[in-house]
Structure 1
């Protein structure tokens, strides 16, 4: 219910669970870091809805979550800084749309967000 899925959306939930474990390994988290992973999965679904993506857009969302963690580390934020990271990802997509970039232009957007923060500092 938290992810607003139909009761029979088994394949998506399975993919999501695999995704969560891939994210856990990618971020070098212990297998028991369930609370962070749960928050991350909720975040991913919120991002998916915010960006008007289909439930099956797992590959893009996975890349987005990884890039969000790169931004978090680059800005020296704690793993729990989910709210800021969520806002940052939405802002990144707004920048992408404003510059008429394809949804896959994640690397450029990441560099731009880091640059913006350096300018701010």
Structure 2
């Protein structure tokens, strides 16, 4: 099997399709999943293959909108919301404790931020 031809201009969907065999059945946590952002596009691309995609954000309302948008495009996707404010160590610890209580192991963590 040859390596996929990906580059700077590759889309999240192209990357997910190229690595579908490595994503399939995995549990993935993605930060920075605001609608129309790179994290959202990545979550949408990965959700086609992953067992579970955990989307995170600090605003419950916006996170719910992201989940609804993902499920509208991919009705069969297994999406879970997680409140996570990366600017607060206490909030990160709380979210980590919640993830540790999930019955599924976490396989991949992707972080998207433009700070």
Same fold (TM over 0.5): no
Flag the structure with more relative contact order, 1 or 2, with Cα contacts below 8 A and sequence separation at least 6.
2
TM-score by length of 1: 0.30
Specify which structure has the higher proportion of strand.
2
Specify which structure has the higher proportion of helix.
1
